[in-house]
């Protein structure tokens, strides 16, 4: 891993070259080449692996190690080395880094700021907290299921005085039993799929189902982070809730969050933390794509609230087969990436798909 000062320079250069949030570097997640490629690149103490998830490179390394360990069992996802659904997670983390969402929102420290340690991930950031549940929890589960080697024990580092994060498999399983059991089921399912007689497309859909069930269980568990929303503007909080809510739709569709598809969805996300006076689709210093995405997120959330929460349930009901889930994934791409695609068309298509189940 490179020195923090050089990494800060690389990050500053990447951000300055684009008005949009930068999350790719040479076709891979940002700073990917500087992450740990093997377990021995991470610190150990008394024979126990001790990553520091409050360092961006360490947290990103958890993803790299999981991808490397599970790739041999991801054949049903496709022939490309970046077809695993796990790729969406490091891309998401990279966007949060360059958009400033991993930095200390309280201004009490310079953690994550250009004037401080740019690789620092703040324990006070709501975004950092939420992604803890989809980085540390699955890594601890993967290690428990033997993906990191036989008998590997892991204990996450945590800053002194911080107490509201679990750091071992046992403590996370005690605090968030549903999330940990769902990640266990996913990693066990990967092993079982190797001998499954199912056709490849059904095997793929089944694994994606297990993956998204685990992701959503972590998302629900991340309600523990809610108090940290008070550090942000009401506009940012509204976007954050819409962003979380969007997971309900992509998970029900068993969206294959590989590197290529995830890049398309993350690219138009807002490149900075939103201010109270920001109003999409008319935010001057954000791109038209970013404005469109914010508008669509807001529309989906508003429609779901207007319908008493039934838009989500309608969508889930419509995702009743491998065929409708494939159509659903394409429909989400149209809605988020094609500005000319009418939101009302989205509603009518959902209604039609629901009646066919």
pLDDT digits (tens, 9 = 90+) for 25-84: 999 999 999 999 999 999 999 999 999 999 999 999 999 999 999 999 999 999 999 999
Q: How confident is the model at residue 353 (pLDDT cuts 50, 70, 90)?
A: confident
- Which is higher by pLDDT, 206 or 309? 206
pLDDT digits (tens, 9 = 90+) for 328-351: 999 998 888 887 776 777 778 887
pTM over 0.85: yes
pLDDT, mean of residues 154-160:
97
Report the pLDDT value the prediction gives residue 16, as an integer from 0 to 100.
Answer: 42
Q: Are 105 and 121 in contact (CB under 8 A)?
A: no
How far apart are the C-alpha atoms of 328 and 253, rounded to whole Å?
Answer: 6
Backbone region of residue 78 per phi and psi (left: phi > 0; alpha: psi in -120 to 50; beta: other values): left
Residue 24's contacts (CB-CB under 8 Å, 6 or more residues apart) are 30, 91, 94, 263
Task: Look at residue 176 and tell me whether its pLDDT is greater than 80.
Answer: yes
Task: Look at residue 311 and tell me whether its pLDDT is greater than 60.
Answer: yes
Which residues share a beta bridge with 176? none
Which of 42-57 are b and which e, b meaning 16 or more Cβ less than 10 Å from the residue's Cβ?
beeeeeebbbbbbbbb
Lowest mean pLDDT among 10-19, 34-43, 278-287: 10-19
DSSP track, 292-350: HHHHHHHHHHHHHHHTTTHHHHHHHHH--SHHHHHHHHHHHHHHHH-TTS-HHHHHHHH
Question: Closest by alpha carbon to 209, among 56, 322, 317?
Answer: 322
Q: Are 335 and 293 in contact (CB under 8 A)?
A: no
Report the pLDDT value the prediction gives residue 15, as an integer from 0 to 100.
Answer: 45
Report the pLDDT value the prediction gives residue 19, as an integer from 0 to 100.
Answer: 55
State both tokens at 270. 């807002």
- As to burial, measured by CB atoms within 10 angstroms (0-12 exposed, 13-18 middle, 19+ buried), residue 178 is middle
Report the pLDDT value the prediction gives residue 6, as an integer from 0 to 100.
Answer: 47
Question: What value does the mean pLDDT of the chain take?
Answer: 92
pLDDT, mean of residues 160-172:
96
| DSSP class of 32 | G
Report the pLDDT value the prediction gives residue 289, as an integer from 0 to 100.
Answer: 93
Task: Look at residue 292 and tell me whether its pLDDT is greater than 60.
Answer: yes
Report the pLDDT value the prediction gives residue 341, as an integer from 0 to 100.
Answer: 79
pLDDT, mean of residues 293-317:
90
Share of the chain above pLDDT 70, in %: 94
- Which is higher by pLDDT, 240 or 353? 240
Distances (CA, A) of 10 to 7, 119, 198, 200: 5, 11, 46, 41
Report the pLDDT value the prediction gives residue 7, as an integer from 0 to 100.
Answer: 53
What is the phi/psi pair of residue 49, to 5°?
-70, 130
Report the pLDDT value the prediction gives residue 132, as an integer from 0 to 100.
Answer: 98
Q: How confident is the model at residue 18 (pLDDT cuts 50, 70, 90)?
A: very low
Report the pLDDT value the prediction gives residue 135, as an integer from 0 to 100.
Answer: 98
pLDDT, mean of residues 294-298:
92
Q: Domain residues of the chain, as ranges?
A: 20-226, 232-356
């Amino acid at each position: 891993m490179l020195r923090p000062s050089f990494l800060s320079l690389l990050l500053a250069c990447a951000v300055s070259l684009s008005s949009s949030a930068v999350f790719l570097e040479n076709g891979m997640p940002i700073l990917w080449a500087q992450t740990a490629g093997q377990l021995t690149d991470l610190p150990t103490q008394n024979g126990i692996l001790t990553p520091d998830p409050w360092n961006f490179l360490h947290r990103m390394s958890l993803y790299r190690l999981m991808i490397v360990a599970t790739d041999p069992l991801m054949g049903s996802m496709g022939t490309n080395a970046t077809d695993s659904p796990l790729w969406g997670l490091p891309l998401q983390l990279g966007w949060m880094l360059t958009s400033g969402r991993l930095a200390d929102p309280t201004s009490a420290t310079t953690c994550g700021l250009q004037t401080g340690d740019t690789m620092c991930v703040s324990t006070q950031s709501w975004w950092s907290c939420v992604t803890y549940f989809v980085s540390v929890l699955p890594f601890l589960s993967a290690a428990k299921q033997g993906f990191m080697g036989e008998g590997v024990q892991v204990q996450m580092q945590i800053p002194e005085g911080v107490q509201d994060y679990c750091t071992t498999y046992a403590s996370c399983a005690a605090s968030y039993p549903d999330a940990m059991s769902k990640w266990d089921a996913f990693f066990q399912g990967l092993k079982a799929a190797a001998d499954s007689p199912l056709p490849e497309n059904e095997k793929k859909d089944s694994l994606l189902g297990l993956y998204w069930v685990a992701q959503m269980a972590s998302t629900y568990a991340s309600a523990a982070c809610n108090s940290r929303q008070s550090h942000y503007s009401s506009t940012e909080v509204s976007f954050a809730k819409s962003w979380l809510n969007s997971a309900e739709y992509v998970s029900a569709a068993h969206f294959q969050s590989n590197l290529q598809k995830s890049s398309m969805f993350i690219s138009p996300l807002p490149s900075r933390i939103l201010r109270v006076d920001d109003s999409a689709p008319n935010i001057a210093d954000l791109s038209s794509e970013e404005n469109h995405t914010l508008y669509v997120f807001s529309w989906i959330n508003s429609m779901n609230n207007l319908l008493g929460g039934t838009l989500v349930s309608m969508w889930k009901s419509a995702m009743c087969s491998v065929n409708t889930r494939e159509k659903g994934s394409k429909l989400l791409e149209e809605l988020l990436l094609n500005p000319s695609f009418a939101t009302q068309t989205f509603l009518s298509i959902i209604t039609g798909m629901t009646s066919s189940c």
